[in-house]
């Protein structure tokens, strides 16, 4: 319960100028994406999730979305089954590791996931079992150029960043030549 309350509390104050190093979340790419997020937030409320904070556009300039946290999210809800690509967090309860792994993998998507725990054995077990291209442990959205980033299933193919990303910029070609026999 303490972790949950801290998550809700820290969502405020991270929205702003994307060039400010203190900012964790800038505007959405365009009005269409902002409207998609707002529609999914609305569906979350209508389907019975508990809106804890946020849920609306921020300000009247640009495409800023308030950081949003939902509790009591059920697996069938749109906010649980769709890739939102916006500042929307959902908090769901679970009984044990196997249940949450099964539920997390029961989706068509698999871009990224995060595991928050003090138990490193649990972190390793869950992170290796999740069908996601990137799994963060006790952090989220940490991207470094040396580490590949990309999704599984319908969340894309290939990787950005890291050595794997170089494959996008190469084209392998095989040339086979018949060499005449040398007569000495």
Query: CA-to-CA distance for 101 and 131, rounded, in angstroms?
Result: 9
Query: CA-to-CA distance for 102 and 135, rounded, in angstroms?
Result: 16
Split at pLDDT 50, 70, 90, the class of 91 is confident
3-state secondary structure of 109: strand
pLDDT in tens, 42-72: 999 999 999 988 899 998 889 999 989 999 9
Query: CA-to-CA distance for 142 and 136, rounded, in angstroms?
Result: 8
Task: State the distance between the two ends of the chain, measured CA to CA, in whole angstroms.
Answer: 85
pLDDT on residue 149: 85
Instruction: Give bridge partners of residue 114 from the DSSP assignment.
Output: 136
Share of the chain above pLDDT 70, in %: 93
pLDDT in tens, 6-36: 766 666 667 778 888 888 788 999 999 999 9
Query: CA-to-CA distance for 9 and 32, rounded, in angstroms?
Result: 28
pLDDT on residue 1: 55
């Amino acid at each position: 319960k303490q972790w949950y309350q801290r998550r809700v509390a820290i969502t405020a104050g991270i929205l702003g100028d994307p060039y400010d190093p203190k900012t964790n979340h800038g505007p959405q790419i365009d009005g269409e994406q902002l409207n998609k997020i707002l529609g999914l937030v609305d569906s979350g409320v209508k389907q019975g999730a508990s809106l804890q904070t946020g849920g609306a556009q921020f300000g009247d300039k640009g495409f800023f979305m308030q950081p949003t946290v939902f509790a009591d999210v059920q697996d069938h809800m749109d906010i649980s089954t769709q890739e939102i690509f916006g500042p929307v967090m959902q908090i769901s309860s679970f009984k044990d590791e196997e249940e949450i792994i099964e539920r997390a993998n029961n989706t068509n998507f698999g871009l990224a996931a995060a595991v928050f725990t003090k138990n490193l054995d649990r972190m390793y077990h869950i992170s290796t079992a999740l069908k996601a291209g990137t799994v963060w442990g006790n952090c989220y959205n940490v991207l470094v150029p040396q580490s590949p980033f990309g999704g599984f299933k319908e969340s894309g193919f290939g990787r950005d960043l890291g050595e794997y990303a170089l494959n996008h910029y190469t084209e392998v070609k095989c040339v086979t030549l018949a060499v005449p026999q040398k007569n000495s």
